[in-house]
Amino acid sequence: MIIDAERDRHLRTLNEIPALLSSREKKVKFHGAVFSPGEETLGALRKAAKLLPVEFTVYGSAPDVAEIESLLGDTCYEFIQTKDSVRELSQYLSVERSVRDKPVHFVLRGDFLSLDDTYRAISLTGSAGDVTGATSIGAFSGKTASESTPKSATTEKPFLSHVAVLEAASQARVLVVSDGFVNPRPDIKTRLAIIKNALRVCKTIGISYPRVALLAAVEQVYAGMPVTVESEEIAKMSAAGEITGAHVDGPLSFDVALVEQVAKDKGAIGEVAGRADLLVGSSIEVANGIYMAQTMLARANAASVVVGGKAPLALPFPSDCIDNIFFSMCLACLISTNGVASTA
């Protein structure tokens, strides 16, 4: 595992991951299941085939074959026709799967599998209000939890959450953000599960004892702002030793979490203020907005994954460039080698 003795010596850039995968994991031949790829995703697959020990099984409809062949060329891949990419994707995330007796190390959502279809696949994987703290994905589809979950589902469903790793220009190291895709309005129980998943990713990229900031608009506690009350409760749980392996503090505003001088000016003290490694949003809009602002406005390198299933899901957003799709695959491969794909 990529963990240094010094806490702050973790990945500086996402470009370090391909080298790690190619040099330190030479014995691993990564196998990815790719769903409904378009031109951007196929470009990322070509790049991965040149730089990583990887092969792909590509799922799509019959009309996709000619385009896939023309864009992938002699890349190491196999095409499988499917009529239900959503069901296939949900099975890869929820149960152990293999293709032609090859284990699947990661899954990649392509350009032509819509966000709505991706939410449907995730809703088939994680049940609402289960024992791990999952929340309803039905909010996106208009369905109730029971309608979104297969009848055969049990309460022992995996908890899925989104984790992004950003190469922010203002930071001398990568920054982790969660949850910008899966859990829209996390309560305390759900945010604890989000933190648990994100901490495992942090440790995978070398952050051995992460500093976790629970984001809010302000760093004070106000009864009229419930997220500040909940953040304080989680921080107290961390201080009492109920959350291990990390410093967790909140509520913290975005600037207080990341800028030491601002933290000092505002009188914020503690291990996290001004030095956060992991930002946990109060809602899906917060984490998603950070990701979009960094990738679209600042053109930051980024990797986006959904973790907690049996295989990590590389989840680039429609606005992501080929490089960020590639980095998402790289992070998913790294997660799979360190055994943090599943937290069920």
Q: What tens-digit pLDDT sequence spans the chain (344 residues)?
A: 333 333 445 788 999 998 888 775 456 689 999 998 888 998 999 899 888 888 998 888 766 666 677 667 767 888 888 888 888 888 888 877 777 677 889 999 988 888 888 988 888 886 433 323 333 333 333 333 333 333 333 345 789 999 999 998 777 889 999 999 999 999 999 999 999 999 999 999 999 999 999 999 999 999 999 999 999 999 999 999 999 999 999 999 999 999 999 999 999 999 999 999 999 999 999 999 999 999 999 899 999 999 998 899 999 998 999 999 999 999 999 999 875 554 44
For residues 111 and 26, give the distance between their C-alpha atoms in angstroms, rounded to a whole number.
30
Q: Is residue 150 included in any domain, yes or no? A: yes
Secondary structure (DSSP) of 162-218? EEEEEE-TT-SS-EEEE-SSS-SS--HHHHHHHHHHHHHHHHHTT-SS-EEEEE-S-
Domain of residue 115, CATH code: 3.40.50
Q: Is residue 232 included in any domain, yes or no? A: no
Q: Is residue 51 included in any domain, yes or no? A: yes
Q: Is residue 245 included in any domain, yes or no? A: no
pLDDT of 175: 95
231 sits in which H/E element = helix 226-239
181 within 8 A of 191, measured Cβ to Cβ: no
Whether a cis peptide bond, with omega within 30° of 0, leads into 179 is yes
Q: Is residue 99 included in any domain, yes or no? A: yes
Instruction: Give me the domain span that covers residue 55.
Output: 16-164+302-337
Helices (H) and strands (E) in the chain, counts: 13, 13
Question: What Cα–Cα distance (Å) separates residue 29 from each residue in 32, 55, 125, 293, 326?
Answer: 10, 7, 26, 34, 16
pLDDT of 98: 74
Q: Is residue 332 included in any domain, yes or no? A: yes
Q: Is residue 199 included in any domain, yes or no? A: no
Q: How many domains does the chain have?
A: 1
Q: Helix 65-72 vs helix 39-51: angle between axes, to the nearest 10 degrees?
A: 40
Q: How many CB atoms lie within 10 A of CB 184?
A: 17
Q: Are strands 77-81 and 54-60 parallel, antiparallel or unpaired?
A: parallel
Q: Is residue 307 included in any domain, yes or no? A: yes
pLDDT of 256: 96
